[in-house]
Chains A and B, each alone.
Chain A
């Protein structure tokens, strides 16, 4: 079964002055990873060197950076393409202006996630980590098989302790609320 790319075209409607958040770029540049955002002069090195952009008709890191600079907060945070970045950091290493492009995208994804926009794959991994300490549900069979493979036992995860350390993290608290709502 093949999952199609199925990424919505970014909203290319004419920009209305009312949708511009003039302070958005400063908000982002105060966050860890977004500091150098304002240095971007739209040369396009990030997009031309991006391996994902070669295989996607919609994902363009330069466009994402420009949208932030223009203050198109809602458009960029609601954009499906935001989630296509493979975090290979080629753009970050090659940006002649020193913009940490992949980190700006991470900052944007974090903000989208706080608003509840989270692809399923991340929800699943978060649930696994809270339940077991590991990002995947490692089957018991695999854990038992280690002995016959001559491998030492898998160190135990400590989900209770992990959850205590993660107390107060916004993203996870939102997730819990969401879970409670769906149970009701």
Chain B
């Protein structure tokens, strides 16, 4: 079964994390998911929710209304965008008064929210549309030599009432998808805890301490890599790993891969194709393991 989605990039991915976009597009296309570009979009709204809930609602509703014009469902790479668009989609469908108020704003730019599209994060599309069987069939280079840990990130899971995806206390989707590549996915302490990213800018120290705590727990189980599916979590663990090491006098050396990079390796793609060179933490150790074992 082929599926077709409008890809919603959000701001963080094109701004700082192109390796995620490059690898995600390659993997999705190879698995038969057709991606259509949005003619126009704006920030999902999440960054301004703390200061103006109304602004967030309008920005999110604009994106949904723009997507509705194409008739296609949305696929996002960022759980923050997914969570925001899902929540607003649900809220505006259920609350008529609020919908009218927001539509009054959208009318100023000739748009209307109708509630006719669905929003899915890439993880959901992989699990629900592509399916585990097809993914397993696409794995030509099983990564049985790797032991990794996962970090789903908050906004794909919580608040449960609005998101309704997986079990926020003990999520299984990413683990199952990691194991489909042949790699072992290790359990560790406080797996579902926040990476700290939303506190950056308000208190970098608190934010980095949260990330450090997670890296300590990942190190404790001797994971060879940490797998993320969020641009912000990835920045916290990969971009900031060296900074955290220096700041707190720690040594990690834990490579942080986007899930599509891991899956891509298992599907026989090269590290170059999957933009491994854009990762900050050195990945040569695990790549050596992967390519020596398969030769």
Which A residues are within 8 Å of any B CB, using their own CB? 2-7, 32-33, 51-52, 54-56, 59, 83-84, 86-90, 92-93, 100, 102, 106-107, 109-110, 113, 118-122, 125-126, 129, 133-136, 138, 142-143, 145-146, 149-158, 161-162, 164-172
Contact = CB atoms under 8 A, between A and B. Distances in A.
B11 interface: yes
Interface residues of B, number: 64
Contact of B47 (A90, A135, A138, A154): A135
Contacts of A156: 40
A167 B203 CA distance: 31
B176 interface: no
B1 to A, nearest CB: 24
Interface string B244-275: 00010000000000000000000000000001
B294 interface: no
Interface string B80-110: 0000000000000000001000000110111
A168 B62 contact: no
A133 B49 contact: no
B203 A166 contact: no
A124 to B, nearest CB: 8
22 contacts: A51-B196, A52-B206, A54-B213, A84-B199, A84-B203, A86-B199, A89-B159, A90-B194, A92-B159, A93-B160, A110-B51, A110-B53, A113-B51, A126-B48, A126-B55, A151-B18, A155-B41, A156-B40, A158-B40, A162-B62, A162-B109, A168-B105
Contacts of A169: 52, 54-55, 58, 105
Contact of B58 (A102, A143, A165): A165
Nearest to B41: A155
Interface in B227-252: 247
The 7 closest A-B pairs by CB, nearest first: A121-B201, A89-B158, A171-B52, A88-B194, A133-B42, A113-B51, A161-B109
